[in-house]
């Protein structure tokens, strides 16, 4: 009975630790969409246009494979 109690207690501690780490990571991290929404819009347009190879007036970047 002592062995089962020890295993059950250690399993509880391990599960609680994993749960706390996952919850902490979800509360601390900021999604990329929120980071994008908070940036300077001119900089985002300029970065997108450089990435797409188009002018700064184009807002759509079409990716084609092949």
Predicted TM-score (pTM) of the model is 0.46
Alpha-carbon distances of 47 from 13, 39, 57, rounded to whole Å:
46, 12, 12
Residue-wise DSSP of 11-48: HHHHHHHHHHHHHHHHHH---HHHHHHTS-HHHHHHHH
Q: Which residues contact 56 (CB under 8 A, 6 or more apart)?
A: 45, 46, 49
Kindly tell me if the per-residue pLDDT of 2 is higher than 90. yes
Look at residue 66 in the predicted model and tell me its pLDDT.
47
Q: How confident is the model at residue 37 (pLDDT cuts 50, 70, 90)?
A: low
């Amino acid at each position: 009975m002592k062995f089962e109690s020890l295993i059950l207690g250690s399993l509880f501690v391990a599960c609680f630790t994993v749960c706390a780490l996952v919850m902490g990571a979800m509360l601390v991290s900021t999604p990329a969409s929120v980071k994008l929404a908070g940036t300077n819009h001119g900089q985002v347009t300029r970065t997108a246009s450089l990435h797409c190879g188009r002018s700064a007036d184009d807002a759509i970047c079409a990716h084609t494979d092949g």
